Amino acid sequence: MNKPKVSIVSISYNQEKYIREALEGFVNQKTDFDYEIIIADDCSQDGTQKIIKEYAGKNKKIKAVLRKKNIGPERNFIDVFQRACGDYIAVGEGDDFWIDLKKIQRQASFLDSHKDHTIVFGPTKVVFENKEEEDSLYPNTSESPKFSFEKLLKQNFMQTSSVMYRRQNDYSGIPNYVSPIDWYFHLYHAQFGKIGFINRVMSVYRRHPGGMWWNSYEDIDKIWEKYGQQHLLLYAEFLKLYGKNPKYQKIIYEHIYDMFNALIEVEKRFTGKKELLTRPLMELPEISEKFIIFQYDFLKKTEASLRVKEEEAHRLEQTIESKEQLLQQSEQVIKAIKSSRAWKMRNAIARLIGRGVI
């Protein structure tokens, strides 16, 4: 095979139930160029590796990496990128699948004609395996003009199986201890060019109980207990990429403060332990110091705000008390008027007028 124009990279782990559908989407792509498929299985304990071997035996495009020892999804993901030879890299995962036979053709053609872009993606169909929710699209395609770098820094709106990157020369410095690793890859590639969008559904993201982020649907505390430290370290890596820009730094520190607070809350109500913050505090002393200062400033501002509200409440109480006194005085005046001779004479005259006597 000639040098591939596109490298399809994928990782898998215990996805025997889904891997055939993923592989079918890869091998059936219709293109006018050569492409390769690199799939790395992370020592699955089910029949996933057997199925990958079967497909690799039939199709020379497939380069199977069948690990005998589990290395974790982050290291596995980085490794397939380092093995890629194509000008462009399309990403798939073992439990997701593609539904457009020209997906990589469309995306490669886009990058061919947009030399200033390093990423192109599209909306993904999200399906819940057990029908917990109805099918939907992610992201909302009506927001396509807003798919900016700044928004990507605020929120990961790209589903992994929808993405194609312009391959970079060096992936050796990618951190293997952050999660989710795909969000890091999106922002890593975004530093070299623009983000492109093709408004066409070409992939499916499957939500199922075996998925890494499934518990976020049921209990986010479990996610943060398991991956919260890696998530905090992810934001620290974002700072290395974009922290020199004041606007981007502000966005990243907002993520960091929220994540610190989430870990504190999880420790209090979920685990009762004091371990979740140990690693971040030790490995990120500068960030930890800024978080503590931020918390102190926040408490001071909250205290000042409460003081102002207390003063406002006191003034309101005084106003209410003053009006109550005025009301009492008015009631006394009215009572005095009604008991006077003039009031009684007024009532008597009114009765005579009513009877027509006057």
Give per-residue pLDDT as tens, 324-341. 777 777 777 677 767 777
Question: pLDDT tens digits, residue range 44-70?
Answer: 999 999 999 999 999 999 999 999 999
User: Contact at 8 Å (CB) between 7 and 90?
Assistant: yes
Q: What is the mean pLDDT of the chain?
A: 85
Question: pLDDT tens digits, residue range 163-218?
Answer: 999 999 889 889 998 989 999 999 999 999 999 999 999 999 988 555 554 444 45
Question: pLDDT tens digits, residue range 234-281?
Answer: 998 999 999 899 999 999 988 988 888 888 778 776 555 556 666 666
DSSP SS3 for 225: helix
* Segment among 13-17, 287-291, 334-338 with least mean pLDDT: 287-291
Is 50 exceeded by the pLDDT of residue 152? yes
Phi first, then psi: give them for residue 60, nearest 5 degrees: -75, -15
pTM listed for this prediction = 0.77
Secondary element (H or E) of residue 11: strand 6-12
DSSP SS3 for 304: helix
pLDDT of residue 230: 86
How far is the C-alpha of 71 from the C-alpha of 98, rounded, in Å? 26
Average confidence (pLDDT) over 20-25: 97
User: Contact at 8 Å (CB) between 163 and 186?
Assistant: yes
Domain boundaries, the chain: 6-207, 219-283, 298-355
Fold of 6-207: Spore Coat Polysaccharide Biosynthesis Protein SpsA; Chain A (3.90.550)
DSSP SS3 for 283: helix
